[in-house]
Amino acid sequence: MTVAGHADTELPYAGPWRGVIAEYADLLPVAEQTPRLTLLEGGTPLIPSVRIGPALPGDLRLYLKYEGLNPTGSFKDRGMVVAVAKALEAGARATICASTGNTSASAAAYSARAGLPCMVVIPHGYIALGKLAQTVRHGARVVPVSGNFDDCLRVVRDIVARYPIALLNSLNPYRMDGQKTAAFEVCDALQAAPTYHALPVGNAGNVTAYWWGYCHYRELGMIGLQPHMLGFQAEGAAPLVKGKPIEKPETRATAIRIGNPARWRDAMRAIRESRGHITTVSEDEIHTAYSRLAAEEGLFVEPASAASVAGVIRLAEHGFFDDGPVTVVCTLTGHGLKDPDYALDAAPNLEPSPPEAEAVLDRAGILESAGRPEPLPR
Ligand code: F0G
C-alpha cells in the first residue's frame, strides 16, 4: 500500500488498519487505477453503553458507533475519501460542496491530501467553530452565503451543472458507497446486524447509506437479517417527519439544520423497506442525551450526534423496545470538539480561583460531589 495521488513518496502504511478503500476495496467501486487515497479513516469503535442503555426500560443492548474518531472528527470521511479518490481518478481539477460544517471540513482535508483546490459554500453564522477552523486551515476557499444549507446546496448544484468541478455532497454516489462501510463494520463487529440502527437525519444521506450497506451485506450472505432503521430529526428541522419542506429550519444542532434534504426519497424508502421509524426529538432531549453521553459514558459528541441517543431514549420510554431482547446501535456522527460554543453554554463558574489548596477544593466542591454516577462494578 502506498501513499496515493500526487505524493512522490512510496512510504508504506504501518499498522493493522489501512483505511476504508483498502479495507473494503472488493465492496467499493474502486479499480486498480483508483488512487489509494487515505487518512486511515474508518475502523471506528462500537462501544457498549454502560449507563444509558442499562437504565432504559425494555430489554435492549445499546452500542454506540463513535464516528467522531474519524480523521476529521465525523462520519463524513468514509464517503469523502472515496469521492475524492474517484474525482482524482477522473482527472478533476477542483472540488466543491455545500455544508453545515462537517462535509466541508472533510472535503477540505481530503482535497488537501489529494492536492486539489476545494471550495465550500456554507450558511453564514450557522457553522460550529471547530468545523470552520478545520475548513479554513485545510486551505479551502470558504464562501459564507446569506441563507441556510438548502440555499447553499442549490447554489452548488447550479455551479456544478455549468462548471467542471467535482461535487462532494452526498448526491455524489461515491460518497454513499464509502459511507456504507460503517454498516459493514457494525456487522463485522457484532457478527450479525443489530435489530435497530438509530441515526440523526439531516440531508438524509447517512441513513440511506447505512441501509444500502446492510442490504449489500445481506446480498453477500454476510448477515441474515437487516436492522430496522430509526431516524431522528430535530423538532424545528423535521421535513421528513412533517412530510413537507421546512422553509426556515431551526435547531441548535446546526449539523442537521436542513429543511429540504437531498436524499429525501431514498431515506424514506430506507425507513419503509426496513420497517423502521422516523420521528422528532426536542432541543431539550438532544441536550440531555448530549450531556449524559459526555458525563455518564465518557463520550464527547456534537449536539446533532446526540439526536440518535435522544431518540432511542424517547422510544424506550414509550415502550418501543419492551418486546426485546433487541440490539440497538446508535451512530455518534461527530466529535464534541466540533462545537465548543454549545459545550460551554451554561458552563460552571470558570472565573479564576486564588492559587491555594483550600480555595481550589472549595471551588471544585469535589468532596461533596453529589449526582455522580455510581462507579462501575469491578
Ligand atoms: N450528524 C452530523 C454531525 C452531521 O454533520 C450531519 C450532516 C448529520 C448528522 C446528518 O447526516 O445529512 O447524512 O442525514 N452534515 C452535513 C454537512 C449536512 O454538511 O456536514 P445526513
pLDDT tens-digit readout, 156-177: 999 999 999 999 999 999 999 9
Q: Output the CA 82–ligand 1 centroid distance in Å.
A: 17
pLDDT bin (cut points 50, 70, 90) of residue 3 is: very low
C-alpha cell, 193:
446486524
If you average pLDDT over every residue of the chain, what do you get? 94
Choose the weakest-confidence range: 11-15, 33-37, 101-105, 150-154. 11-15
The per-residue pLDDT for 6 is 47
C-alpha cell, 277:
421509524
Which atom belonging to ligand 1 lies closest to the Cα atom of 102?
20
Ligand 1 contact, 67 CB (< 6 A): no
DSSP secondary structure, 254-281, as one string: GGG--SS-TTHHHHHHHHHHTT-EEEEE
Q: Output the CA 375–ligand 1 centroid distance in Å.
A: 34
* CA 264 – CA 258 distance, rounded (Å): 11
Nearest to 255 by CA among 106, 136, 128, 109: 128
> What residue owns the CA closest to ligand 1's atom 4?
255
**Residue 2 pLDDT exceeds 60:** no
Q: Output the CA 40–ligand 1 centroid distance in Å.
A: 21
- The mean pLDDT value for 261-269 works out to 98
Q: Are strands 46-48 and 60-66 parallel, antiparallel or unpaired?
A: antiparallel
Q: Which residues of 199-210 are buried (b: 16+ CB within 10 A; e: fewer)?
A: bbbbbbbbbbbb
Q: Are strands 118-123 and 141-145 parallel, antiparallel or unpaired?
A: parallel
pLDDT tens-digit readout, 217-263: 999 999 999 999 999 999 999 999 999 999 999 999 999 999 999 99
The per-residue pLDDT for 17 is 94
**Residue 372 pLDDT exceeds 90:** no
Ligand 1 contact, 205 CB (< 6 A): yes
Which atom belonging to ligand 1 lies closest to the Cα atom of 302?
3
pTM: 0.94
CA distances from 229 to 105, 226, 290, 337, 357 (A): 27, 9, 21, 27, 52
pLDDT tens-digit readout, 301-357: 999 999 999 999 999 999 999 998 999 999 999 999 999 999 999 888 889 999 999
* CA 119 – CA 273 distance, rounded (Å): 36
- Local structure of 250: helix, strand or coil: coil
pLDDT tens-digit readout, 175-198: 999 999 999 999 999 999 999 999
Q: Output the CA 102–ligand 1 centroid distance in Å.
A: 7
The per-residue pLDDT for 364 is 86
* CA 100 – CA 97 distance, rounded (Å): 10
